[in-house]
Amino acid sequence: MFKLMNTVSITLMNEDNNQKPLNYGAFLKQAANEFGGYTLTNQEGGWLSDEINELMVDKSQKLDLSFEELDSGKSQVISNVANFLFDKDFGGQESIFVQLDGKPMLVFPGQVAEMMEFIESHYNVETKTTVK
């Protein structure tokens, strides 16, 4: 018999804003430990720059984290990845793209705690995640 699973997806930029490669090794190890594995898919996205009116293109990877039930350990991995992406000393992102079972949301700095509350309530998690 098969089981229907849920998936949280987070877009991971390949480089920071200074074109320095980002290393997600520690988070991927946490994800494998908490979720039993993960899927990374290469992707490319673009937007029109307001400043120079040019198409800007970023290469990234989509991190898929699938689960039957979301618990505090899994929530913590999601929170850790989001905080890393926003941390000025690491990812330094202005926003991150997260999907809950394919439904997108754009998250901005300072919204990680709110994002985690939404995710945890969406998946009926009773314990709350520690957010920096």
> What CATH code is carried by the domain that includes residue 67?
3.30.70
Q: pLDDT at residue 126 above 70? A: no
DSSP 8-state symbol, 9: E
pLDDT at 51 > cutoff 80: yes
Residues 6+ apart with CB under 8 A from 68: 3, 5, 6
In a domain, 1, yes or no: no
> Which three-class secondary structure state does DSSP give residue 55?
strand
Question: Is 66 among the domain residues?
Answer: yes
Exposed, middle or buried: residue 2 (CB in 10 Å: 0-12, 13-18, 19+)?
exposed
Residue 24 placed within a domain: yes
The whole domain housing 103 covers 6-122
Rg of the chain, C-alpha, whole Å:
15
Output the pTM of the full model.
0.88
Does residue 128 sit within a domain?
no
User: Is 72 within a domain?
Assistant: yes
The 10s digit of each residue's pLDDT in 81-122 is 999 999 988 889 999 999 999 999 999 999 999 999 999 998
- Both tokens of 95, joined, read 């926003």
**49 located within any domain:** yes
What is the total count of domains within the chain? 1
